Amino acid sequence: MSELRFQKSERIVAIIPARGGSKRIANKNLRLLTGKPLIVHSIEHALRARRVTEVVVSTEDPGIVQVAESHGAKVVLRPPALATDDATSEAALLHVLDTRAAAGWPDPDLVVFLQCTSPVRETRDIDRAVATLEEHHADSLFSACTNNRLIWAVRESGPCALNYDFRKRQREQDMAVQYRENGSIYVFKPEILRRTNNRLGGKIAIYEMDYWSSFQIDEPEHLELIEWILSRKQPAAATPWPARIDLIVFDFDGVMTDNRVLVREDGAESVTCHRGDGWGVARLRDAGIRMIVLSTETNEVVAARCAKLKIECHHGVENKGKYLSDLLARENINPAHLAYVGNDLNDLDCFQIAGFPVAVADAHPTLLKLARLVLTHRGGEGAVREFCDHVRARLGRGGGA
């Protein structure tokens, strides 16, 4: 990787433990997934990350050595004692650091620990995780997805609710925010590992990942599921974008919200939005990109949210397709230069009009098939921010948005 990308003082080493033995899935790390060995997905993620300066695979397996080196990673041979079923990942991580130290290399500033069983992460997740740790002045970090499921454990006395009181049952959407560690990315200062023999310690931060990126391969049937997820995801960098975007239209419910509505006893309604979406919209507005919200919803919450975001609002629209066609004709906007972000069948006409239709991750299957770009975040969970980031990245490359 080019030294020009980094400050000379910055050393961030990505370590990918990958032993040869696996009881549940034979030869797991070399199993083909979308046409390439499982371990290669993590190697490529690390090599492409802007913040990572070195990529090391820890293994005892000759086949993994050959694959890792042929795809650009360094290899540290792990002794057999650290490649047993009982050996911990921490032991393998420490062995890599000790091997580097014995060769005269000081500990890096940070270690990024990637597990091969999480191939749905993206390169940008690694860079964002490092940035999150720095922003929180943390010592360690783990990636996670939100969890609002009702969890039970079985004790000697019987089933026991872990995260709620079943006698005062809550709706899942009313529960306090919880996170489920997804095993995809860990970032930590080496001294944390050396002092505690643990990947986590000191001040701990969380890097939130989307629902789809949080699936892991632990059983044979998971390979088929992950294959489907990876084939479904469309990396924005590989997506053919229009030469320019003159207007971005967002649906509201299911795009700027999670498609749920909370109704009080007096009939007042409220929705859940994502704070990060507002930041993304503001940055595009600063860049001069015009955006509007087009919604069939008549609730004043739509107008209130749009007013806060300082975005043009068209709500209570019964026929969105006709309304959008009339708007484009009236303002002489070429549909080829229109991006439309939607989630459900009432967006279908707009999808067929827009030159660049975009679907949130949990959109209706019909829209997923028609979309030029499928986002990795669900509606109300950062999808708008994700799309805004993609557009800003296009602007940053000097081309039309």
Q: Are residues 97 and 191 in the same domain?
A: yes
Lowest mean pLDDT among 58-62, 184-188, 239-243: 239-243
Alpha-carbon distances of 209 from 214, 241, 265, 272, 274, rounded to whole Å: 7, 25, 34, 18, 14
The enclosing domain of 106 has a CATH number of 3.90.550.10
Of 395 and 319, the structure prediction assigns the larger pLDDT to 319
* Banded pLDDT at 91 (limits 50, 70, 90): very high
Lowest mean pLDDT among 86-90, 141-145, 264-268: 264-268
| pLDDT score at 358 | 95
Average confidence (pLDDT) over 227-255: 81
| pLDDT score at 177 | 78
pTM here?
A: 0.59
What are phi and psi for residue 87, nearest 5 degrees? -70, 140
Within a 10 A sphere around the Cβ of 258, how many other Cβ atoms? 20
Contacts of 156 (CB under 8 A, 6+ apart): none
Task: Give the H or E element holding residue 140.
Answer: strand 140-146
Q: Are residues 164 and 258 in the same domain?
A: no
Average confidence (pLDDT) over 139-147: 92
Q: Are residues 219 and 248 in the same domain?
A: no
What percent of the chain lies above the pLDDT cut of 70? 92
Q: Are residues 319 and 361 in the same domain?
A: yes
| pLDDT score at 66 | 94
pLDDT surpassing 80 at residue 283: yes
Average confidence (pLDDT) over 40-61: 94
Is residue 204 situated within a structural domain?
yes
The residues facing 154 across adjacent strands are 159
Taking CA 279 as the corner, what is the angle to CA 274 and CA 284, rounded to the nearest 5 degrees? 125
The residues facing 37 across adjacent strands are 32
Contacts of 398 (CB under 8 A, 6+ apart): none
Alpha-carbon distances of 245 from 152, 282, 343, 367, rounded to whole Å: 49, 17, 20, 20
* Banded pLDDT at 139 (limits 50, 70, 90): very high
Residue after which a domain boundary falls, among 228, 259, 276: 228
pLDDT surpassing 60 at residue 366: yes
Cα dihedral across residues 356, 359, 364, 368: positive or negative: positive
Q: Are residues 129 and 247 in the same domain?
A: no
Lowest mean pLDDT among 50-54, 209-213, 258-262: 258-262
Is residue 401 situated within a structural domain?
no
Is residue 355 situated within a structural domain?
yes
Tens digits of residue pLDDT in 10-22: 799 999 999 987 7
| pLDDT score at 396 | 56
Lowest mean pLDDT among 52-61, 142-151, 172-181, 295-304: 172-181
Within a 10 A sphere around the Cβ of 165, how many other Cβ atoms? 8
| pLDDT score at 9 | 53
Range of the domain at 112: 3-228
The enclosing domain of 261 has a CATH number of 3.40.50.1000
Is residue 20 situated within a structural domain?
yes
| pLDDT score at 5 | 34
Max mean pLDDT range (210-224, 248-262, 317-331): 317-331
Q: Are residues 82 and 100 in the same domain?
A: yes
Average confidence (pLDDT) over 376-381: 86
Half-sphere exposure of 222 (CA within 13 A, CB side): 16
Lowest mean pLDDT among 83-97, 196-210, 387-401: 387-401
Alpha-carbon distances of 158 from 13, 68, 154, rounded to whole Å: 45, 47, 5
Average confidence (pLDDT) over 152-178: 83
* Banded pLDDT at 328 (limits 50, 70, 90): very high
Q: Are residues 380 and 291 in the same domain?
A: yes
Is residue 190 situated within a structural domain?
yes
Residue 43 corresponds to which amino acid? I
pLDDT surpassing 90 at residue 184: yes
Q: How far apart are CA 181 and CA 187, in angstroms?
A: 13
| pLDDT score at 122 | 87
Is residue 342 situated within a structural domain?
yes
Average confidence (pLDDT) over 314-327: 92
pLDDT surpassing 90 at residue 36: no
| pLDDT score at 4 | 28
Q: Are residues 219 and 252 in the same domain?
A: no
Q: Are residues 210 and 308 in the same domain?
A: no
Of 393 and 90, the structure prediction assigns the larger pLDDT to 90
Q: Are residues 332 and 191 in the same domain?
A: no
What are phi and psi for residue 246, nearest 5 degrees? -95, -20
Contact status, residue 205 vs residue 199, Cβ threshold 8 Å: no
Q: Calculate the dihedral angle through the C-alpha atoms of 282, 283, 284, 287, rounding to the nearest 10 degrees.
A: 120
| pLDDT score at 8 | 39
When the pLDDT of each residue in the chain is averaged and rounded to a whole number, the result is 87
Q: Which of 42, 92, 101, 99 is nearest to 72 (CA)?
A: 42
Structure tokens, 169: 């049952």
Contacts of 143 (CB under 8 A, 6+ apart): 121, 125, 129, 181, 182, 183, 184, 185, 186, 206, 207, 208, 209, 214
Q: How many helices (H) and strands (E) does the chain have?
A: 12, 19
Residue after which a domain boundary falls, among 228, 256, 274: 228
Q: How far apart are CA 218 and CA 117, in angstroms?
A: 7
Is residue 261 situated within a structural domain?
yes
Q: Are residues 59 and 84 in the same domain?
A: yes
Domain count, the chain: 2
Distance of CA 37 to the CA centre of its chain: 22
pLDDT surpassing 60 at residue 398: no
* Banded pLDDT at 369 (limits 50, 70, 90): confident
Q: Are residues 367 and 273 in the same domain?
A: yes
